[in-house]
Amino acid sequence: MTAATGGFGPLLPEERADAATLVRQGFGIPREYFDRSVELFGSGVMRGLRAGPEAGRAGQLVACAAVWPMDQWFGGRPVPSCGVAAVAVDPGERGRGYGSALMRGLLEEARAGGAALSVLYPATLPLYTRLGFGRGGVSFDWSAPPAALSAGPPPADGWIRRTDTSDASQLAALRRSLLATANGPVERNEGLWSFALCPDGVPSDVYTLGGAAGPEGYVAVAPPADRKLNVADLCLLSPRAVRLAQSFLAGYRAQIDRVTWRGGPDDPLVLMAPERGVRADACDEWLLRILDLPRALESRGYPPGVAGELTLEVADALIPENSGSFRLRVSEGRASVRPLPRALDGAEKAGGKTDEAALSLSITALASLYSGHKGPYVLRQVGLLRGGEDAVALAARFFSGPAPWMPDRF
């Protein structure tokens, strides 16, 4: 259903209380938490959608969301992205198309502002897949008894020091190495740093881990409660940092029954746990929307030593500029993209023969391929991608790399 809308745009100061109610009804978030989040991210992040003249409540706020620019890292390079959170529609107005209209407004604005991607955690899939979002990566909630993490005494050549977090730049510098070697994590702004280090508004204590040459990681822990220790944030860049974190967390074993933390599928603490007992308590999938296809493909990095050319035949019902044939050329870790004239469109050539050098897929499937969350073989197996053996094999090499994940939730 298409809603008659009275305008999408920045949330007006006089609409803030109504937006807080929408968010409370959407997510159970209390007013104080809403206000704190808006202050942290800046009041400019909120967008609103008002009912149109036909609705009987013309001009009134019916939907809102938060949106902010940030870089998201893929293949060792930052890609301009747009985070979306707190998408909420008035409970009395749901199912009338307002949610879709709000999202279309957000995506158009983000693309016009230079974002190549948009990323969000969905509460429901159909709304977003219809708008071209695809499965982008994961975020795990891991937990373990502290003894399961214990790998013996801390390494003699390492140190653990409590760190003042009033200036997050030292942590950001450490985290930069993680961004450069992983797929999916986002560069944090002040709001995301605050969410990471003060989950639920409770400040955590940060301990930096290192050796003779300097810091090699950090662990941020909330005060233990209910026999549980919540690791609010974690960055382990070396084998020594992993060993130091293991012994640090195992040191809580008399006080707690479980340690919890967020990570990816290849989490260092999971990989190096010497004993059974580590468990994935939850795995949330985040969604990715390619807003500007050439910009997204040209901004990310690619594995060194991989070179070649592919034709991508892409269908995007919402953003016509992303539809059509594109020549993707990869060499020396970078890509260039050239739109092809319509006459050369189509992976399917005359006589039903498949062009060996072409892949045909929707913008939704391209998001999963782009992030590395799903490879071309499985996408083809389930019918989300068409292409010959050579093209699929080449795409598998272009988009290979660490499984995409991010610790941040929004």
Ligand X SMILES: CC(C)(COP(=O)(O)OP(=O)(O)OC[C@H]1O[C@@H](n2cnc3c(N)ncnc32)[C@H](O)[C@@H]1OP(=O)(O)O)[C@@H](O)C(=O)NCCC(=O)NCCS
The H or E element containing residue 258 is: strand 258-263
Q: Cα(261)–Cα(234) distance, rounded to whole angstroms? A: 8
Nearer Cβ to ligand X, position 88 or 148? 88
Q: Is 192 in the site for ligand X (CB under 6 A)?
A: no
Binders in 8-37 for ligand X, by CB under 6 A: 26
The least distance separating ligand X from the CB of residue 146, rounded to whole angstroms, comes to 34
Q: Of 44-52, 89-97, 132-140, 194-202, which segment contacts ligand X by CB under 6 A?
A: 89-97
DSSP states of 350-362: GGGPBPTTEEEEE
CA distance 89 to 26: 7
Q: Which stretch binds ligand X (CB under 6 A): 83-91, 162-170, 268-276, 392-400?
A: 83-91
- Does the protein bind ligand X through residue 82 (CB under 6 A)? no
99 binds ligand X (CB under 6 A): yes
| Region 113-132 residues binding ligand X, contact defined as CB under 6 A | 120, 122-124, 126-127
Sign of CA dihedral 233, 239, 242, 247: negative
- Binding region for ligand X (CB under 6 A) out of 74-82, 98-106, 205-213, 230-238: 98-106
Question: Is 98 an interacting residue with respect to ligand X (CB under 6 A)?
Answer: yes
180 binds ligand X (CB under 6 A): no
Which residue, 23 or 335, has its beta carbon nearer to ligand X?
Answer: 23
To ligand X, the closest distance from the beta carbon of 285 in angstroms equals: 12
Token pair of 362 as six digits: 């929707």
Name the one range near ligand X by CB under 6 A: 92-100, 197-205, 299-307, 355-363: 92-100
Q: Pick from 288, 316, 319: which is nearest to 399 by CA?
A: 288
Structure tokens at 101: 């209209």
Q: How far is the CB of 62 from ligand X (least distance, A)?
A: 8
Residue 92 binding ligand X, by CB under 6 A:
no
- Binding of ligand X at residue 104 (CB under 6 A)? no
From 287, 298, 294, select the one nearest 136 (Cα to Cα): 287
- Tell me how far CA of residue 284 lies from CA of 336, 365, 371, in angstroms: 32, 18, 16
Q: Which is nearer to ligand X, 88 or 363 (CB)?
A: 88
Residue the block writes with tokens 């500007």: 292
Q: Which of 235, 262, 255 is nearest to 178 (CA)?
A: 235
By rule CB under 6 A, what count of residues binds ligand X?
17
Q: Which of 290, 305, 399, 308 is nearest to 358 (CA)?
A: 308
| CB closer to ligand X, 123 vs 393 | 123
CB 269 within 8 A of CB 262: no
Which positions lie near ligand X, rule CB under 6 A?
A: 26, 87-89, 94-100, 120, 122-124, 126-127
